Chain A
């Protein structure tokens, strides 16, 4: 059974019409002992990709594709990397449902253009950054 309803698909298609370029969703999963969340994340991502031609999906196995996992800094599943022209550092750990689904779609749109919607002042303040910053935002699906 599909995760997205017909109504969801229509909304996603409308949003993804804003994509400015190709987007790749790299999903890390496990073959053995995959949780329901992991299986559903893979299904959800495939359903989203069906909504726009510019979206491609790559499914990787955390335990087999170890070098890729390390390169992406992924150490748990389910994980989604949202890539545009390059890997901007956009990650989702856990299934992005509810409000996080909106963020998944939004992150695809910003990755497709490489142009963030931020204040000019923010960009100025970040320009001097020369150290790695790891932001983790904890959320729940509700």
Chain B
């Protein structure tokens, strides 16, 4: 979570939401949240668990560069 907020501060193009999964079951269901943390970027790229910073940035850039997909 921390990374998402720091990335938001780093770039005016990024918004970082922390979503409490239990309070919003509709969102948890829509994004198939089975384990936390689960990160979803632009509804296109998602991954579970905490990942290193470089890998997190990979996912962000993959979401805007059109590759999409999980992982």
Interface string of A50-74 (1 = CB under 8 A from B): 0000000000000000000000010
Q: Which of B1-25 contact A (CB under 8 A)?
A: 1-24
27 pairs across A/B with beta carbons < 8 Å?
A: A88-B5, A88-B9, A88-B12, A90-B16, A93-B19, A93-B23, A99-B1, A107-B5, A110-B6, A116-B10, A119-B53, A125-B57, A126-B57, A132-B15, A132-B42, A133-B11, A133-B41, A133-B42, A133-B60, A133-B64, A134-B15, A135-B15, A135-B39, A136-B40, A137-B40, A140-B36, A141-B20
Judge whether A135 and B8 touch: CB under 8 Å: yes
B61 contacts A by Cβ under 8 Å: yes
Judge whether A73 and B15 touch: CB under 8 Å: yes
Judge whether A134 and B42 touch: CB under 8 Å: yes
B-side residues, CB < 8 A to A, are: 1-24, 27-28, 31, 33, 36-43, 53-54, 57, 60-61, 63-64
Roughly how many angstroms separate A135 CA and B23 CA in the complex, as a whole number? Answer: 18
Judge whether A90 and B1 touch: CB under 8 Å: no
Asked whether A139 and B36 contact (CB < 8 A) given A91-B15, A107-B5, the answer is yes
The 4 closest A-B pairs by CB, nearest first: A94-B20, A89-B15, A116-B6, A94-B23
When C-beta atoms are compared, the residue in chain A nearest to B5 turns out to be A107
Judge whether B27 and A129 touch: CB under 8 Å: no
Interface size on A, residues (CB 8 A): 47
Judge whether B19 and A90 touch: CB under 8 Å: no
A-side residues, CB < 8 A to B, are: 35, 37, 73, 76, 78, 82, 84, 88-96, 99-100, 103, 106-107, 110-111, 114-119, 121-123, 125-126, 129-141
